[in-house]
Every structure is written in structure tokens, then in C-alpha cells.
Amino acid sequence: MPEPLSTAQVEHVAKLARLRLAAEQVERYRGQLSSILDHIAALGALDLDDIEPLAHPHDMTNRLGDDIPTPPMPLEALLRNAPAVEGPFLAVPKVLDEGGG
């Protein structure tokens, strides 16, 4: 049976997942995730030596398409969902410091 998650662990995972959580959310998710992980821990009891992981139900491998250019989607249709645009560009907050990064 795994140890329940600590508050620091949940905060770390939230940071990795890019989710800004309030303290009470962290606490709620800590309890809920701990009980789910506790259920999942049953997998630990299975003997899985020499069993190959199966990432895809039909054991497929990558399929390469032919290199044929096709017309792109119209810019207007793509930009109509953008939260902020400047001309034909997506507008985002400044990422680099003055003088470049």
C-alpha cells in the first residue's frame, strides 16, 4: 500500500502539469489522488517478470505517409480561435528579456 501523497508532492505535480491550484484544491486532490493510487497499487501484486509492455492494442509501429504537399488550412480559420492576434500572428506575452535571451 503506497504512502498517501504529501502536499509538496501534489504541488510539484501541479507545477509539472501547469495548473495553478489554490491551497484547498491541493488538499482535496491530495486525498482523492491518494485513494485512487491506493486502488491502483493492486497492480503491484501481479507477477510481471518478462512481460513486454504493450503501448498499443494491435502492436502497431509507425506508418510513414507519402511526402505529398497538400494545401494548408486557411489562416483565417485557424486564427479565429486565437485568444489574441496581431495581424497574421498569434500575440503572446513577452518571453525574452530586453536584448534577447
Partner 1 sequence: MAGGTNIPSIEAVCDGVRSRQSSAVELVERSLARIASLEPKLNCLHETLKEHALDRAARIDAAIARGEHVGSLAGVPIVVKDNIATSYGTTTCGSRILENFRSPYDATAIERLEREGAIVVGKANCDEFAMGSSTENSAWGPTRNPWDTSRVPGGSSGGSAAAVAAGYAPAALGSDTGGSIRQPAAHCGVVGVKPSYGRVSRYGLVAFGSSLDQIGPFAHSVRDAALVLQAIAGFDPRDSTTAEIDVPDYLAEIDRPVEGLRIGLPRRFTSPDNDPAVNKAVLDAADEYARLGATIVEDIDLPLTDHGISTYYVIAPAEASSNLARFDGIRYGHRAELAPDEDLFDLYARSRAEGFGPEVQRRIMLGTYVLSSGYYDAYYKRALQVRRLIKQEFDAAFAKCHAILGPTAPTPAFPLGGKADPLSMYLCDVYTVNANIAGICALSLPGGFAEVEDQLLPIGIQLQCRAFDEPTLFRVARMFEAAHLQDRLACPVA
Residue 91 Cβ, how far from partner 1 at the closest point, in Å? 9
**Would you give the binding string for partner 1 spanning residues 19-48, x where CB under 8 A is met?**
xxx---x---x--xx-xxx-xxxxxx-x-x
Give the pairing of strands 85-86 and 89-90: antiparallel
Residue 69 Cβ, how far from partner 1 at the closest point, in Å? 14
The torsion angles phi and psi of 96, rounded to 5 degrees, stand at: -100, 150
Alpha-carbon gap, residue 19 to 24, rounded angstroms: 14
Site membership for partner 1, residue 69 (CB under 8 A): no
Q: Binding partner 1 by CB under 8 A: which of 1, 24, 57, 99?
A: 57
Q: How far is CA 13 from CA 6, 55, 87, 101, in A?
A: 11, 23, 37, 28
DSSP 56-94: STT-----PPP----PPPPHHHHHTT-S-EETTEE----
Site membership for partner 1, residue 84 (CB under 8 A): yes
Binding site for partner 1 (CB under 8 A): 5, 9-10, 13-21, 25, 29, 32-33, 35-37, 39-44, 46, 48, 51-58, 60, 62-63, 65, 73-74, 77-78, 80-84, 90, 92-93, 95
